[in-house]
């Protein structure tokens, strides 16, 4: 071993040890590893920040923004309610969730796909009286499996494509991953559907600040319009959209106040007083195309573009105290609408315009993002929590899907490379207002992008120093007497063993060149071995920290560290058994 190789191995070994120690955040560890690699000379000065211009960083960041735009549209939740309104059993609900997450993960960042569907899982859990833990871990594993199906589904596939291009001059295409991905996804989902009982029922041990201040009894006033989907339908049909979380306090028709019986047929211009959590109210308003109280917010004769809704508490010093919304005329004097109100210990049965506001009332105000801070200060209102309230915000449900479809089509037919297509898609989400400009950078997972950018030159030091060829030689000697399936299995198991302790993209960055050299030394074609690395790095089912999807469900599911291998270990063995013969068939090694 040369001095450069020893130093490269030492830097990467130290970095992996600190990752396993888990005392510092992964992006800080990666940056420290980069500085150390530059200091000892294994990464040249002029290559230190080359990772920040790498296509991988652009693709991952853009995919997160696209995912946020799709999630914000609420179209997935709406589609499930429309096409699958009567799913009541755990098996059918879980099957639907896993299939949808897997399919979405093939085309958008798998953590984004999981985030889109998690609220639906909580609704199913509440509806069925089952712990959310029964849904969340299988969904996380399905997201990992779904990401295997396309080039952009998960970071390892993107990295492996680049490694193949460097080695052979030809990258993997968008759907080169599909045959293997579909096989493993189907096998994995079937396993999870029949063995989900391995996941224990857990309750969330800690609550977030947002959950602690969650308001469950907002009262909002909605109007039935000619565009409403529930026009001339029973009131019960409207309430179904709230999944049992919303009740109707009254229906106002002209000067008459009608009892809210479920079979009451709704007519145009009926006003319905609804009570429930803001998220459930939003599902009803957006799903039934209802009109909230207040007037359209205009600016220079056009609809205001950046409209938000904020939860706030009326303080003792607030000038709103003792006045009604009608007396204040907020829509006309300040350009804000009162959308909902919650009063502790009291059910609101009056129209919002006539209700006298009191100190301690929690209200939802709709207005321009740029004007809202001044309004909060002028009226001595306290923001309830740092969270987004979707009630009353405009969302373009179809536009995010069109943008995503265009990006996918552009990459599939070769009109644009993946980084350019998804960068344009992320930009389109802002240009067409699928996601507010102020939320654009919030959607980007900065620590992940920094970690990727820092790890790219560090991991490349193994290749530039000749370390990857050295390891490949060692593995080649160990597998010299093994058949092709044994050599392939060795690479797959090695990648799968490393990825729980190292980010999956970093695993591919380290293992990819080793696998390629390993295959070359044994006289095999490298494609199957690179695919094995991508599969091993993408199938992290053993810990809550190896992949973001696993981490995302760890807290909400109330899981313990040991819960992951209970379901993940047998699934990992199954993936190994299926992958090896499938790889040899789909990607022959000779």
Residue ranges of domains in the chain, CATH in brackets: 63-205+396-443 (no CATH), 226-289 (3.30.70.1450), 298-383 (3.30.70.1450)
Under 8 Å CB-to-CB from 542, ≥6 apart: which residues? Answer: 500, 564, 565, 568, 569, 572
pLDDT of residue 213: 47
Q: What is the pLDDT of residues 501-513, one digit of tens each?
A: 556 776 787 778 7
- Mean local confidence (pLDDT), 200-218: 57
pLDDT of residue 207: 45
Q: What is the mean pLDDT of the chain?
A: 80
**Given a cut of 50, is residue 212 above it in pLDDT?**
no
pLDDT of residue 210: 46
pLDDT: which is higher, 98 or 173: 98
Indicate the SS3 state at residue 452.
helix
**β-strand partners of 342:** 362
**Given a cut of 70, is residue 394 above it in pLDDT?**
no
pLDDT of residue 206: 43
Q: Could you tell me where the DSSP H helices lie in 41-89?
A: 55-73, 75-83
Closest CA to 432 of 394, 385, 461, 469: 394
Quote the crossing angle between the two packed helices 110-128 and 75-83, to the nearest 10°: 40
User: What's the CA gap between 294 and 353, in Å, rounded?
Assistant: 9
pLDDT of residue 397: 66
**Given a cut of 90, is residue 192 above it in pLDDT?**
yes
Closest CA to 519 of 472, 570, 571: 472
What burial class does residue 253 get, using C-beta atoms within 10 Å of its C-beta: 0-12 exposed, 13-18 middle, 19+ buried?
middle
Q: What is the pLDDT of residues 516-548, one digit of tens each?
A: 877 877 788 888 889 999 999 888 888 776 677
At residue 416's C-alpha, the angle toward residues 411 and 417, to 5°, is 75
For 201: left if phi > 0, alpha if psi spans -120 to 50, otherwise beta; the answer is: beta
User: What's the CA gap between 460 and 589, in Å, rounded?
Assistant: 25
Name the band, by pLDDT with cuts 50, 70 and 90, for residue 360. Answer: confident
pLDDT of residue 297: 65
**Given a cut of 80, is residue 101 above it in pLDDT?**
yes
Out of 75-79, 266-270, 378-382, 546-550, pick the least confident.
75-79
Under 8 Å CB-to-CB from 451, ≥6 apart: which residues? Answer: 26, 27, 29, 30, 31, 503, 506
| Whole-structure pTM value | 0.64
Following DSSP, what letter does each residue of 246-310 receive, concatenated? -EEEEEEETTEEE---TTPBP-TT-EEEEEE-HHHHHHHHHHHT-EESS---EETTEE-SSEEEE
Q: Could you tell me where the DSSP H helices lie in 432-503?
A: 437-440, 446-464, 467-478, 484-498
Name the band, by pLDDT with cuts 50, 70 and 90, for residue 208. Answer: very low
Q: Could you tell me where the DSSP H helices lie in 254-323?
A: 278-288
At residue 520's C-alpha, the angle toward residues 517 and 523, to 5°, is 155
**Given a cut of 80, is residue 266 above it in pLDDT?**
yes
- Mean local confidence (pLDDT), 484-492: 86
pLDDT of residue 189: 95
């Amino acid at each position: 071993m040369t001095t450069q190789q020893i130093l490269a191995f030492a830097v990467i070994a130290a970095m992996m040890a600190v990752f396993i120690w888990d005392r510092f955040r992964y992006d800080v560890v990666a940056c420290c590893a980069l500085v150390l690699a530059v200091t000892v000379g294994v990464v040249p000065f002029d290559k230190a920040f080359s990772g920040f211009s790498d296509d991988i960083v652009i693709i991952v960041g853009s995919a997160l923004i696209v995912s946020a735009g799709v999630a914000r549209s609420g179209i997935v939740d709406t589609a499930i309610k429309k096409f699958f309104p009567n799913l009541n059993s755990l098996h059918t609900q879980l099957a639907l969730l896993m299939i949808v997450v897997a399919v979405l993960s093939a085309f958008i960042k798998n953590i984004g796909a999981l985030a889109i569907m998690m609220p639906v899982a909580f609704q199913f859990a509440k509806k069925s009286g089952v712990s959310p833990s029964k849904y969340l871990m299988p969904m996380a594993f399905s997201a990992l499996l779904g990401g295997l199906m396309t080039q952009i589904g998960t970071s390892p596939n993107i990295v492996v494509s680049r490694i193949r291009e460097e080695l052979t001059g030809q990258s993997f295409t968008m759907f080169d991953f599909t045959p293997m991905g579909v096989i493993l996804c189907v096998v994995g989902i079937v396993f999870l559907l029949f063995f989900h009982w391995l996941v224990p029922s857990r309750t969330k041990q800690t609550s977030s600040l947002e959950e602690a201040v969650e308001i469950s009894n907002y009262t909002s006033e909605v109007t039935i319009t000619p565009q409403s989907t529930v026009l001339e339908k029973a009131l019960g049909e409207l309430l179904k959209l709230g999944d049992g979380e919303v009740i109707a306090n009254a229906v106002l028709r002209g000067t008459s106040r009608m009892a809210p019986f479920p079979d009451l047929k709704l007519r145009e211009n009926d006003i319905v007083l609804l009570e429930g959590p803001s998220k459930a109210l939003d599902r009803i308003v957006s799903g039934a195309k209802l009109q909230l109280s207040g007037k359209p917010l205009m600016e220079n004769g056009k609809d205001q573009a950046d409209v938000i809704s904020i939860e706030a508490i009326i303080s003792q010093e607030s000038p709103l105290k003792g006045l009604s919304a009608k007396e204040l005329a907020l829509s006309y004097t300040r350009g804000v609408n009162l959308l909902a109100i919650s009063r502790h210990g009291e059910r609101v049965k009056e129209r919002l315009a006539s209700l006298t506001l009191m100190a301690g009332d929690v209200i939802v105000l709709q207005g321009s993002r740029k004007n809202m801070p001044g309004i909060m200060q002028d009226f001595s209102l306290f923001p309830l929590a740092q969270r987004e309230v979707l009630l009353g915000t405009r969302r373009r449900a179809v536009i995010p899907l069109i943008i995503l479809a265009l990006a996918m089509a552009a990459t599939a037919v070769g009109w644009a490379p993946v980084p350019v297509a998804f960068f344009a898609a992320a930009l389109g989400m802002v240009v067409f207002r699928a996601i507010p400009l102020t939320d654009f950078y919030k959607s980007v997972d900065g620590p992940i992008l920094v970690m990727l950018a820092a790890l790219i030159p560090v991991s490349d030091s193994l290749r530039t120093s000749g370390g990857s060829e050295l390891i490949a030689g060692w593995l080649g000697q160990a597998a010299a007497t093994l058949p092709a399936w044994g050599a392939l299995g060795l690479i797959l198991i090695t990648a799968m063993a490393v990825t729980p302790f190292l980010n999956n993209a970093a695993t591919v960055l380290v293992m990819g060149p080793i696998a390629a050299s390993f295959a070359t030394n044994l006289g095999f074609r490298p494609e199957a071995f690179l695919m094995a690395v991508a599969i091993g790095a993408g199938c992290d089912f053993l810990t809550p920290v190896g992949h973001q999807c696993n981490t995302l469900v760890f807290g909400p599911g109330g899981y313990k560290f040991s819960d992951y291998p209970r379901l993940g270990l047998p699934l990992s063995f199954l993936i190994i058994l299926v992958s090896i013969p499938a790889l040899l068939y789909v990607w022959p090694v000779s």
